Amino acid sequence: MKTNSLRRAGLLSFGIVFGVMMGAGVAQGEDLGTKAQTYALDPDAREEIRSVMRHKQATGELDQFWKNYRNRVLDSIKSPPSLGIRTDYGTRTELHDLRFVMPQDYRDQNGKVVVRKGTVVDPLKALPLTMGLLFIDGNDPRQVDWAVERSRAEPLKIVLTAGSAYLMRIKYRNVDWHGVAGVPFYLDQRKIIINTLRKLYGIGISSVPVALYQKGDQLALQFGMGAGN
């Protein structure tokens, strides 16, 4: 029972970082809360809104609005803004111990304490990292070529800090990648992965290219374009 509880506790923080690997380019929803009191519209107001919308539909204004909206969304997908992370080809490797101490009691859905405050949790033992990440600047052909070859040889997924994951997927759609057609590219949208690594574990990704993978019971960050494990 305690082993399972420790495993769940480890997944709480570790899963925040690596649970987004499968969808690093997917937009994240946010609950912004209630910002002001809301009121129901009276019948006259509803009819007035319907009248305005019918007019906009008849004049083509509504269709043009949705067309412009669609184009903006597509542009943001095809040409997302850079995360502003610099390129540095200098090679070095950092090893990080992810063990942490529970800051408070961890309770199950019934409120029962299953992991006590002060318990040491080792996320990499609770959830071994089977797929690592390669952070690169997708606008740099040298980094892209290196990442494609390395990700095909090792269990690593490519995450862009600049460039278009959409266009990269199209360009490499016929390249074999671990038995399937197409090399997957992702975007660390809003620096979700990078910021979470920094906040939870103090791990800073200040330059690319860098490979992130498990080495023994530690997390390895290999900067530059060195060889694999």
Task: State pLDDT tens for residues 132-165.
Answer: 999 999 999 999 999 999 999 999 999 999 999 9
Start-to-end Cα distance in the chain = 35
DSSP annotation of 20: T
Q: Which pLDDT does position 167 carry in this prediction?
A: 93
Tokens representing 54? 């019918």
Instruction: From 116, 93, 128, select the one nearest 5 (Cα to Cα).
Output: 116
Q: What are phi and psi of 199, to 5 degrees?
A: -70, -40
- Predicted TM-score (pTM) of the model is 0.69
Q: Which pLDDT does position 169 carry in this prediction?
A: 95
- Give the count of beta carbons closer than 10 Å to the beta carbon of residue 199: 12
DSSP annotation of 21: G
Q: Structural domain boundaries of the chain?
A: 83-97+123-223
Q: What average pLDDT is seen over the chain? A: 81
DSSP codes of every residue in 161-208: EES-HHHHHHHTTTSEETTEES--EEE-GGGHHHHHHHHHH-----EE
What percentage of residues in the chain have a pLDDT greater than 90?
A: 45
Question: Which range among 4-8, 34-38, 87-91, 198-202 shows the weakest confidence by mean pLDDT?
Answer: 4-8
Q: Which pLDDT does position 76 carry in this prediction?
A: 60
Q: Which pLDDT does position 40 carry in this prediction?
A: 64
Q: Is a pLDDT exceeding 70 seen at residue 227?
A: yes
Q: Is a pLDDT exceeding 90 seen at residue 11?
A: no
Q: Is a pLDDT exceeding 50 seen at residue 28?
A: no
Instruction: From 25, 71, 19, 20, select the one nearest 163 (Cα to Cα).
Output: 25
β-pairing verdict for 176-177 and 113-115: unpaired
CA–CA dist 189, 194 (Å, integer) = 10
CA–CA dist 11, 7 (Å, integer) = 6
